[in-house]
Structure 1
Amino acid sequence: MSLRINEVAQAAGVNRETLRYYERRGLLEKPDRSPGGHRLYDERAVHTLRIIKAAQRLGFTLEEVADLIEVGRRRGRDSGLQARAREKLVEVEERIADLETIRSNLVAAIDAGCDDLHVCATTDCCPVPFVEITTRPTDA
């Protein structure tokens, strides 16, 4: 079954330009062409687009997704997804910890009634740890 670009884009929930961009980047295989020059895709293209969007929602960058797809094409089914998913999980957990710190600092600033960061930062009772926020702990 052949699908035109609008049908594939709609089925995958992307726009036509995104589809063309992914094709240029090599994320999608080059489609066949009709005698009139129209791109003709199969259902695999829709499936691949959905995989790309799902991987992005899981936090993978487009570059990482492209690498996973390329490695999967070369190796068959083993794309290293398990190892990469574990690495991404560590990144996500670090971001969550950062967000929890940000949340606590914002709650403390709201509770303290801070209205002016310059004034607040120069007082001893300021709940916002300006130095700690701007530096990240190093791994020992």
Structure 2
Amino acid sequence: MRTVRIGEAAAAAGMTTKALRFYEQHGLLPPVHRGPNGYRDYPPEALARLQFIRRSKAAGLSLAEIRNILQIRDAGQAPCAHVAAQLAQQLTDLDQHIAELTALRASAAEHYQAASQGDPTQCDPAQICSYL
């Protein structure tokens, strides 16, 4: 199979060339072969890896988590159980964050309601703003 240059690889993966260099620098992509002209030549399997990185980021996984999954795969093991555990933790974290945001929204709505119906002339200067 033929190798592709960084621009082609980036376009095929839906990323920028800067992202590919970043992923290579941070160990998510193995070092790529450079031709005599200094251009990076990506093998076809690099595209699958880049698409995996994009899907993993879309699921909210961190670069460290993605790197760990790739290391498991690179060691010849299927990372499925590890991925399931990571996604379960991601769901737990998201549920907690949603609950915190819901509480924050309720608090902000309560303060907004008071502020929108209040009379600024009745505001106690010692409190800076009576609505907060």
Class of the TM-score when normalised by the shorter of the 2 chains: 0.7 to 0.9
Q: C-alpha deviations, 1:100-124, integer Å up to 9, x for none?
A: 1111112222222258873224xxx
Q: TM-score, normalised by structure 1?
A: 0.75
- Counterpart of 2:130 (choices 116, 119, 135) is 119
Structure 1 alignment gaps of length 5 or more: 122-140
Q: CA RMSD, aligned part only?
A: 2.1
Match of 1:52 in 2: 53
| Residue in structure 1 matched with residue 90 of structure 2 by the alignment | 88
Which has the higher mean CA deviation after the structures are superposed, 104-113 or 17-26?
Answer: 104-113
Count of matched residue pairs: 121
Preserved contact between residue 6 and residue 42 of structure 2 (Cα < 8 Å): yes
Percent of aligned pairs sharing the same letter: 26
2:101 counterpart letter in structure 1? L
CA contact (8 A) 2:114 2:131 kept: no
Q: Work out the CA distance in 2 between the residues paired with 1:55 and 1:78.
A: 13
2:111–2:131 contact (8 Å) kept in structure 1: no
Q: What is the CA–CA distance in structure 2 between the aligned matches of 1:75 and 1:92, rounded to whole Å? A: 31
**Structure 1 Cα separation of the partners of residues 50 and 105 of structure 2:** 35
Shift of 1:46: 2.0
1:60 Cα deviation from its structure 2 partner: 1.2
Displacement, 1:75? 4.2
SS in 2 for 1:119: coil
**Structure 2: which 5+ runs fail to align?**
none
Task: Tell me which residue corresponds to 2:43.
Answer: 42
Q: Which has the higher contact order (CA 8 A, sep 6+)?
A: 2
Runs (4+) of structure 1 exceeding 6 A deviation are none
